[in-house]
Amino acid sequence: MGYVELHCHSAYSFLDGASLPEELVVQAAELGYPALALTDHDGVYGSLEFAHAAKAFGLRAITGTEVTLNDGSHVTLLVESPTGYANLCRLLTQAHSGKRLEPRLDRSYLEERNEGLVCLSGCARFGLAVRNPNGASHLAQVFGRDRFFVELQRPLLRGDARRNNALRDLAAALGVRTIVTGDAHAHAPSRVQLQDVLVAIKHKTSLDGCEPDRRGNDECALLSPQEMAARWPDDGDALHVTVELAERLEFDLTQELGYRYPDFSDGPNPADVQLGQVCRQAFDERYRHAPRNLRTRADQRLREELALIGELGLSGFFLLHWEVLELARAVAADVRGPGSPRHLLPPGRGRGSSVGSIVCYLTGLSHVDPVAADLSLGRFLNRELVSVPDIDLDFPRDIREKLIVAVCEKYGREHSALVASFATYRSRGAIRDVGKALGLPMAELERLARVSDGWNAKRVAEEMALLPDGEEKLRSPRWRAFRELCSEIAGLPRHLSQHPGGMVISTRPLTELVPIEPAAMEGRQLCQWDKDSCADAGFLKIDLLGLGMLSAVEECVEHIVSLRGETIDLSRIPLDDPGVYKEIQEADTVGLFQIESRAQMQSLLRTRPENLDDLTVQVALVRPGPIQGKAVHPYVERRQRLRDDPAYVPPYDHPSLAEPLRDTLGAIIFQEQVLDVAIALAGFSVGEAEGLRRAMSRKRSEAAMEAYHERFLAGAAARDVSRETAELVFSKINGFAAFGFPKSHAAAFALLAYQSAWLRHHYPADFLCALLNAQPMGFYPPASLVRDAMRRGVEVRTPDVQLSGAKCRIEGDAVRIGLAYIKGLGEEPAAALAAEREEGDPFRGIRDLAQRAPIDRPGLEALVASGACDSFGWPRRQLLWRLGLAPRSVSVGADGAERQLALPLEPTTEVPDLPEETPWERMLADYRTTQVSVGMHPISLLRPHLPDEVVASSELPTYQHGKRITVAGMVVARQRPATANGVVFMLIEDEHGQVNLIVPPPVYDRFRPLVRGEPLLLARGRFERYEQNRNVVVEELATLAPLARRVANDVEVNAALPNAHHFGGR
Amino acid sequence: MGEGAAPVSVNRVSVASVREEWHIVDRWWTEQPVRRRYFDVVLETGRNAVVFHDEERGGWFTQRA
């Protein structure tokens, strides 16, 4: 007896399905199914992933969904044809058009758009036939006997027999057939406990608290056809219908989607001609004054590219990007306002491999002349292109926000949407959600979450084993279940979220290709697929990314122009400023784009970039690809040798690699070099090399990689390359994978890195101000940016209600911290306060402020605590007292819309003599309320109480390599890169500067809670210096918290200090 | 009564037919997990009975129908 499962949920039913589509596919194939349907709740989120996975395993994927109707009942819909799929997408879009996250479909829509769909009457618990037989009867009439079936399920719960008898009777009465389905929610019985936990999470309760909502047994796993036949001995026909139907449902989502990106065929000329015109017009402007040689080469390149684009049928694709850029120009003009000094700046910048294209340069997609910069088109466009190229556009955040809405308006809500992303379970979320479901103590869970790895939930078991009471915990079945379930929930999608900026645009209504639903942010809408599914669907995705540094650079330019009257055109600043390169070479790069991290700084001291080309390599160097491909040390070492001996010739693994790897001294640093190496050493075609790159990238398929490996070895052998060399080079390529920048991307980032360095060098206060206003971004918390700027002579002033705006602003050559930096105040109240002062009189005192500023009491208290009211001339405690006495207007009337003004009475109570804040209290209040402190550094306050052996960071330049050393500092950043074999890098800061700590794995294991959470540390270890690089290899760590508490007269210190930034795992 | 199979008698009265079978798996996260296989049966006497096999502790038990 055959059987095909036609009702199956994956984890894309969001907290009502415990297995990924791939897991279901593999299990179904093993159980001998010829086909399988995926019917997630109210969506097709995982359908394309499922369809591709199924194909790989020789299983036929049937696309479907279980949709929730207005009355809360469910029906299962299966796609029979492309029309059916378009209808399904429209129906799901309609279902999501009401209240967000509560999809409901009016049955009339389903009746209207039934063509090409098959309807099953729904599950045992919520099925339409169970809940509303009359409704089922209506649908049976609309869909007809061939396309409507009454669904029989047997979850082995009490009442199955009676319900199924009633359903058989209903089917007979309606003249339709019954069909058996399994309503699987897990690929295997071992995953069913997780399904129980997911139900508890979904209902925001514990397992004990959701008994009525759980299934009550472990029967919801995917069963084999034989097991299903045994479960339904008397329903042979209803079993057989599944096979019959599965054969009929031939729609293949991987082949029949029918997407077409805008091809501009409605224009006066063909798209090829239109693109040519756009490019030629820009060409004349850009190259009018170019040297003849460059102009000729550029002209040749343009002809070649246009011909290739025409051949690939991509003219419409580039025209669309050009159109979006034109739209961005209009949005930028609007956002920046008339006469803004930012008008000289382009609205955005291209990144990624598009920077290598002259068509992109001429259409405004990139701002790097690829001919002058000698950038290859390589990966971006070639004749063997299998999918549309990637174009990423970076915008300042304010322009991006408006542009997303403008794109939606221009192309229409039916034709454009944002790309989705799925928030998946990582360790902290898993610990909290699974632990809460199991009813484990919240305090214990928080303790574990704080010391956990942060990323991989599969490692929670290891983390538990390291707990002092880990073994004892595992005696309890709850904790044992917790350990197993955290590992199982790892990587499962939890909910739908928004991709940082990807948008899809379509000629055919997008609502017929993928369902669309409202995003959390009002006015935005999301499609139900993530970037991988959108790419698999061949959708044209435009990435409109918000880049904090672009916002900062724009704001900085605006400050300079408006406050200093100097005009700055960033595209014309000198690119060889020695002062700028001196700072970069000395790794004085805090706050700069891309080259500020600890690892970058260490590398800069050895590579010592001298020009933009060097910076381009530098930006690409400290990335997982080159690190894993073992390219970093050879490059750095060869660069040093070349500096010492200009005649030095770097070694190449094979003479054929001299050309592709010349610029990077024999190391693979840029992504396209992977392609170039495969072409040069193993004779790959461009398309083959691109295939290799794809195989290495997002879904690393071992089988595919092995096939490329064999092909690589064979190709190399045919060119007389020894097997040993071929294996060596392949291992480097394999290590590099796709985790590196294309050169063109690195060039775009290097330019921005230089521009940020140039602005910081010449206008340090303006740059700091803009950087503080663009937070959060970058490697350092604001406190460190401020300390660094102060060390380079920038005066930073505390927030002041009489002088500050909502944002940070420039006062002469100083930076005034903005009121919005005060925690607990909020940006809008801060702006309202500044407006009240600027439009009226200055505040006469705390009482006047309390009465005039539209700020609640906690906000006013935060203002006082931060020192923003110090200019009223009273100590902060006295100000707080006076604030408590200040009468305020109150809301009156039925709806509270009217205000009763305060009586202007003077307080009758004397202000008592309150003690002034100590320097400690003041410093902690600064950090607590604004995250930054411009006064004393905590370590300078602690210094007199530290052991004599403690060395200040300023003494390190004269300290001897290999000596024992003790240092103390406030933790600024912690890093546990996946590429560093468990080593943790920490950056601590004292009153003079920063110190690098290297924490080896055994030391990390001993002092884990200190490494992960302690803000003030004392570190003992061995001092290492290699040329300019200075590190402390830690042997022992101690917290300074008890000492700080003692010195600060028992004030709690740790909670007030700023949080360090964490990178990678922890 | 056989383990795992349907019961053939309840309190020495033969089972005439099994009306329904269901499973309960619950409290697997506690010290007292529940795993039972229930049968709603009609006895030869015409009386209904609900019996279950406790798969955690072993043994058959009757429950009010």
- Can you give A136-156 as a three-state secondary structure string? HHHHHHHHCCCCEEEEECCCC
Q: Which of residues 454-513 of A touch B (CB under 8 A)?
A: 477-478, 481
- In this prediction, residue B64 has a pLDDT band, given cuts at 50, 70 and 90, of confident
CA A758 to centroid of chain Cα atoms: 29
| Of the candidates A720, A694, A158, the residue with the CA atom closest to the CA atom of residue A385 | A694
Q: Which residues of B touch A (CB under 8 A)?
A: 19-26, 28-31, 33, 38, 40
How crowded is residue A695: how many other Cβ atoms within 10 Å of its Cβ?
A: 21
Least Cα distance to A451 among A477, A427, A487 occurs for: A427
Per the DSSP assignment, residues forming a β-bridge with A516 are A527
CA geometry: angle at A80 spanning A78 and A84, to 5°? 85
Lowest pLDDT segment from A512-516, A874-878, A916-920, B20-24: A916-920
Distance CA A773, CA A820 (A): 9
- Within 8 A by CB and 6+ apart from A268, the residues are none
Of B22, B24, B31, which is closest to A160 when you measure between CB atoms? B22
DSSP type of residue A44: -
- ipTM of this predicted structure: 0.94
CB contact under 8 A, B33 and A477: yes
| Residue A856 pLDDT greater than 90, yes or no | no
**Best mutation target, A217, A440, A473, A475, to test chain B (most B CBs within 10 A):** A217
Would the CB atoms of B22 and A156 count as touching at under 8 Å?
yes
Is A615 in contact with A368 (CB distance < 8 Å)?
Answer: no
Average pLDDT over residues A958-984: 88
Please tell me the predicted confidence (pLDDT) of residue A883: 84
A152/A640 Cα distance (integer angstroms): 74
Contact of A251 with A63, CB cutoff 8 Å: yes
Q: Rounded to the nearest 5°, which phi and psi values hold at A136?
A: -60, -40
DSSP 8-state assignment for residue A184: B
Mutate to test the interface with A, among B18, B19, B29, B53 (most CBs of A within 10 A): B29
The fold for domain A937-1064 equals OB fold (Dihydrolipoamide Acetyltransferase, E2P) (2.40.50)
Q: Which residues, in sequence order, are CB contacts of A700 under 8 Å at separation 6+? A: A737
- Verify whether the Cβ–Cβ distance A161 to B19 is below 8 Å: yes
Q: What is the pLDDT of residues A322-361, one digit of tens each?
A: 888 889 889 988 888 777 766 666 777 766 556 678 998 8
Q: How confident is the model at residue A902 (pLDDT cuts 50, 70, 90)?
A: low
User: Measured between CA atoms, how close is A459 to chain B, in angstroms?
Assistant: 21
A160 touches chain B (CB under 8 A): yes
* Buried-exposed string A168-194: b where 16+ CB fall within 10 A, e elsewhere: bebbeebebbbbbbbbbbbbbeebbbb
Q: Are A387 and A539 in contact (CB under 8 A)?
A: no
pTM of the full structure: 0.78
Task: Please check whether residue A36 is in contact with residue A5, taking contact to mean a CB–CB distance below 8 angstroms.
Answer: yes
Q: Is A218 on the interface with B (CB under 8 A)?
A: yes
The C-alpha of B20 sits at a distance from chain A's nearest C-alpha, in angstroms, of: 6
Contact indicator for A862, A833 with CB cutoff of 8 Å? no
Q: Which residue has the higher pLDDT, A181 or A1008?
A: A181
* Predicted pLDDT at A1056: 77
**Rounded Cα distance, A860 and A303, in Å:** 65
Pairwise CA distance, residues A675 & A733, whole Å: 9
**Are the beta carbons of A677 and A667 closer than 8 angstroms?**
no
Pairing type for strands A177-180 and A148-152 reads parallel
User: What integer pLDDT is reported at residue A1046 of this predicted model?
Assistant: 87
Classify the C-alpha dihedral A841-A843-A844-A848 as positive or negative.
positive
- A112 has pLDDT over 60: yes
To 5 degrees, how large is the angle CA A429–CA A430–CA A431? 95
Interchain contact A157–B (C-beta under 8 A):
yes
Confidence of residue A26 (pLDDT cuts 50, 70, 90): very high
Q: Residue B50 has what pLDDT?
A: 96
Contact A766, A560 (CB under 8 A): yes
More confident residue, A488 or A980: A488
Q: What is the DSSP letter of A819?
A: G
Across all residues in chain A, what is the average pLDDT? Answer: 89
Minimal CA separation from A453 to chain B, in Å: 25
Signed CA dihedral, A1030, A1034, A1040, A1043: sign only:
negative
**Residue with token string 């920038």:** A794
Under DSSP, the state recorded for A8 is: B
**Mean pLDDT (whole number) for A507-534:** 90
DSSP state of A914: P
Amino acid at A506: S
Instruction: Say yes or no for a CB contact (<8 Å) between A217 and B21.
Output: no
Confidence at residue A1066, expressed as pLDDT on a 0 to 100 scale: 41
In the chain, the amino acid numbered A998 is I
CA atoms of A1006 and A215, how far apart (whole Å): 44
Alpha-carbon distance A209 to A438, whole Å? 10
Rg from Cα positions in chain B: 12
- pLDDT value of position A344: 63
More confident residue, A129 or A290: A129
**Sequence-ordered list of residues with C-beta below 8 angstroms from that of A706, at least 6 positions apart, any chain:** none
What distance in Å separates the CA atoms of residue A328 and residue A348, rounded to the nearest whole number? 8
**Sequence-separated (6 or more) residues with CB below 8 Å from residue B44:** B13, B14, B15, B16
3-state secondary structure (DSSP) of residue A961: coil
pLDDT tens track for A776-822: 888 898 989 999 999 889 999 999 999 999 999 999 889 999 999 99
Considering only CA atoms, which of A66, A12, A57 is closest in space to residue A33?
A57
Q: What is the mean pLDDT of residues A115-143?
A: 97
Residue from A154, A157, A158 whose CB has the most chain B CBs within 10 Å, to mutate? A158
Q: CA nearest B36 in A: which residue?
A: A217
CA-to-CA distance for A542 and A400, rounded, in angstroms? 12
Residue with tokens 């002033």: A797
Best of B18, B20, B21, B22 to mutate (most A CBs within 10 Å, chain A): B22
The percent of chain B in helix, strand and coil, each rounded to the nearest 5, is 0, 55, 45
Residue range A92-121: mean pLDDT, rounded: 96
CA of B24 vs chain A CAs: smallest distance (Å)? 5
A211 interfacial to chain B (CB closer than 8 Å): yes
C-alpha A710: how far from chain center: 35
Query: What is the total residue count of chain B?
Result: 65
- Residue range A536-582, pLDDT digits in tens: 888 888 888 888 898 899 899 888 888 888 878 787 788 899 999 99
Instruction: Output A261 or A892, whichever has higher pLDDT.
Output: A261
CA-CA distance, A723 to A1019, in Å (whole number)?
48
Question: For residue range A1016-1044, what is the model confidence (pLDDT) as tens digits?
Answer: 999 999 999 887 889 999 999 999 989 98
Q: DSSP secondary structure string, A94-143?
A: HHTTSSTT---B-HHHHHHT-TTEEEE---TTTBHHHH-HHHHHHHHHHH
Per-residue CA distances from A442 to A435, A437, A472, A964, B39 (Å): 8, 11, 17, 42, 40
Q: Does domain A780-919 have CATH number 1.10.287?
A: no
Residue B29: which of A157, A219, A438 has the nearest Cβ? A438
Listed residue (A70, A6, A82, A77) closest to A37, CA to CA: A6
The residue with tokens 């580039």 is: A318
Edge-to-edge strand list for the sheet holding A795-797: A795-797, A814-816, A809-811
At residue A920, the pLDDT reads 83
Tokens representing residue A837 in the block: 């002062």
Q: Say which CATH topology domain A11-188+216-248 has.
A: TIM Barrel (3.20.20)
Residue A726 pLDDT greater than 80, yes or no: yes
Q: Is-contact A627 A979, C-beta < 8 A?
A: yes
Q: How is residue A363 written in tokens? A: 């259409």
Phi, psi angle pair for A938, to nearest 5°:
-55, -35
* Residue of chain A with shortest Cα separation from B32: A477
Lowest mean pLDDT among A15-29, A119-133, A442-456: A442-456
Task: Give me the pLDDT at residue A588, please.
Answer: 94
CB-based contacts of A108, cutoff 8 Å, min separation 6:
none
More confident residue, A395 or A1037: A1037
Question: What's the average model confidence in pLDDT over A373-383?
Answer: 73
pLDDT exceeds 50 at position A858: yes
Distance of CA A694 to the CA centre of its chain: 21
Count of positions (residues) in chain A:
1066
Residue of higher predicted confidence among A467 and B47: B47
Distance of CA A76 to the CA centre of its chain: 34
Q: By percentage, how much of chain A surpasses pLDDT 70?
A: 94
Question: What residue type is assigned to position A557 of the chain?
Answer: V
A904: which 2 tokens?
């202007």
Q: What is the SS3 assignment for A985?
A: strand
Pick A160's closest partner by Cβ from B20, B26, B31.
B20
Query: What DSSP string runs through A649-671?
Result: ----SSGGGTTTTTTTTT---SH
Ranges A6-15, A458-467, A833-842, A881-890: which has the least confidence = A881-890
**d(Cα A606, Cα A423) in Å, to the nearest integer?**
39
pLDDT of residue A7: 98
Testing the interface with A: which of B25, B28, B36, B51 to mutate, by most A Cβ within 10 A? B25
- A449/chain B closest Cα distance in angstroms: 21
pLDDT above 90: percentage of residues in chain B: 85
Per-residue model confidence (pLDDT) at position A87: 98
Out of A67-76, A296-305, A842-851, A911-920, least confident range:
A911-920
Looking at residue A908, its pLDDT comes to 61
pLDDT of residue A638: 94
Confidence of residue A391 (pLDDT cuts 50, 70, 90): confident
- The terminus-to-terminus CA distance of chain B in angstroms comes to 18
pLDDT band of residue B2 (cuts 50, 70, 90) is very low
pLDDT, one tens digit per residue, over A216-275 is 999 999 999 999 999 999 999 999 999 999 999 999 999 998 887 677 777 778 889 999
Assess contact for A241 and A232: CB atoms under 8 A: no
Exposure on the CB side of residue A679, measured as CA atoms within 13 A: 19
Chain B touched by A219 (CB under 8 Å): yes
Mean pLDDT of A79-84: 97
